[in-house]
Amino acid sequence: MWRIYGSLCALLLGAILVEVTVIPAFWSNLRVDLFLGLVIGLAVYGPFSHGFIFVALATLPLQAFTGARFGYLPFAYVMAFFLLDVMKGLIFLENIVVQCLLGFFLNLVIVEAATLFVRMDVLREGWLPLLAGAGCTAAATPLMAYAVKRIWAGYEA
Amino acid sequence: MKGRTKLPLFIVTTILILVLISFGQQRYPAATLGLMREGYSWVVRIADAPLDFISGLWNNYIYLINARQENAVLRAKVRTLEVGTMAFNEVRAENTRLRAMLGFKKAYPDLPLVPAEVIGQDISLVFKTLVLDKGLTEGFFKDMPVIKPGGLVGRVIAITPHSAQVLLITDVNSAVPAVIESSRVKGIVKGRGDGSLSLEYVKSDENVKAGDLVVSSGLGGIFPRGITIGSVRSIRRPPHKMFAEILLKPGVEIGQIEEVFGIGRDVAYLR
């Protein structure tokens, strides 16, 4: 069990490094949510209890790299995880296209939800970074989900 | 996990998160978050170390050996020049930035300025914070004003021994007491989240015009007086409102910050 949590933590650290330092170095306004792919991967391929615990705990290091009020990120991602768990019984979430669409729309939903806390219109900054970020998140989501699947398969083997 | 245990877990989690958010409203500094940023600053340092080593090895040893081998140098010359041109452009841009910062420091010799580099930005599109590579050990402290040669950048909101998180003036949670330099009209500069600023609580009949320079007023005790914040971009005076709607253009290009200065303690006036 520690091995799988260790691998997931390494994946999380890599995602943070890319989100916080690498991507803003290329385009200051671009934000790609790699963690969302991890959440989707955990919801689809992992058992509920482990996925839930990891998602809840992993939002804490993420919170250190945002000016968002303490509690917002756990709220957003845990709710996304519960939503995905419900959807798992209704839609075939292992499909790559479905994962891309989920990545795209959940990214937009999470960004828009954040604006409720600060009462601002994120589109005022321009729709291009928002859509580009959602598009990149959509592209990265199946990759992150696949990484989680491989980690979980390796653990079960 | 069985379905009947998920619902109680959902309810308990939601309550816990709401409690967390209510604590967050009071902005209690979370020690764990500081630890995360501190750890991250070390990860970035460790990740940079092999690159620095390879770069040093190349510049100080391998490249010198190659320099002695004239034939090899001649064959590689065109390629090296091409790569050199790219590197030169980057170095030139960096040189320009550093010269501006050096000039700024020379212009204010008595000002205790602590330089720092940006190592990370906020993970969300909505909130505007930066992570710096300097912390308590290098003289940074909580609420320390952070500037660039063009003007005010923000203030430190969380600090660890080797990293600091800066709330940018463009964040919607940021508020800076300010004054219009020419007319001395006072107001509060707030971030709008879209990269621009607004000057609030200025009466509609006050003397404000586009292009006016806005500087920090020194009220509140966090920001020294006289730091450039930005300039007035537009003014609207709605007929039935007491205050004018004033938009500002920040003095610094917020999206292109790579190096900054923290201003040391006990500085009341900048000019």
ipTM comes to 0.77
Cβ atoms of B225 and B145 within 8 Å: the answer is no
Residue B60 DSSP label: I
| pLDDT on residue B267 | 61
Q: Which residue of A has its CA nearest to B43?
A: A17
Residue at B255: amino acid letter: G
Average pLDDT over residues A28-52: 88
Residue at B71: amino acid letter: N
Q: What is the pLDDT of residues A123-149, one digit of tens each?
A: 666 688 889 999 999 999 999 999 999
Joined tokens for residue B162: 């080797």
Q: Which residues of B touch A82 (CB under 8 A)?
A: 6, 10
Give the pairing type, strands B129-132 and B151-160.
unpaired
Q: How far is B51 from chain A (nearest CA, A)?
A: 15
| pLDDT on residue A67 | 82
Residues with Cβ within 8 Å of residue B47, at least 6 apart in sequence:
A17
**Minimal Cβ distance to A82: which of B10, B35, B193:** B10
Whole-angstrom distance, CA of residue B246 vs CA of residue A79: 38
Say if the Cβ atoms of B120 and A67 lie within 8 Å: no
| pLDDT on residue B4 | 66
Closest CA to A136 of A59, A55, A48, A22: A22
Q: Which residues of A touch B27 (CB under 8 A)?
A: 69-70
Residue at A106: amino acid letter: L
Q: How far is A20 from chain B (nearest CA, A)?
A: 5
Does the pLDDT value for residue A2 go beyond 50? yes
CA B167 → CA B127, B147, B153, B261, distances in Å?
9, 12, 8, 14
Within 13 Å, how many C-alpha atoms sit on residue A89's CB side?
6
What angle, 0 to 180 degrees and rounded to 10, lies between the N-to-C axes of helices A48-63 and A72-88? 150
Whole-angstrom distance, CA of residue B269 vs CA of residue A63: 35
Percent above pLDDT 90 for chain A: 30
Instruction: Please name the residue that has the structure tokens 């969302």.
Output: A36
The low-confidence residues of chain B, meaning pLDDT below 50, are: 25, 271
| pLDDT on residue B271 | 45
Does the pLDDT value for residue A99 go beyond 70? yes
Whole-angstrom distance, CA of residue B193 vs CA of residue B206: 26
| pLDDT on residue B84 | 66
Chain B, residues 47-106, CB within 8 A of chain A, namely 47
DSSP-derived secondary structure for A9-53? HHHHHHHHHIIIIIHHHH-TT----HHHHHHHHHHHHS-HHHHHH
**Minimal Cβ distance to A72: which of B21, B37, B47:** B21
| pLDDT on residue A50 | 82
**Minimal Cβ distance to B123: which of A60, A66, A125:** A66
| pLDDT on residue A35 | 92
Residue at B156: amino acid letter: V
Between chain A and chain B, the number of residue pairs with CB atoms below 8 A apart is 143
Say if the Cβ atoms of A65 and B255 lie within 8 Å: no
- Asked if the C-beta of B42 comes within 8 angstroms of chain A's C-beta atoms, the answer is no
| pLDDT on residue A123 | 63
Does the pLDDT value for residue A47 go beyond 50? yes
Whole-angstrom distance, CA of residue B250 vs CA of residue B36: 30
Closest CA to A13 of B31, B46, B128, B168: B46
Whole-angstrom distance, CA of residue B154 vs CA of residue B7: 43
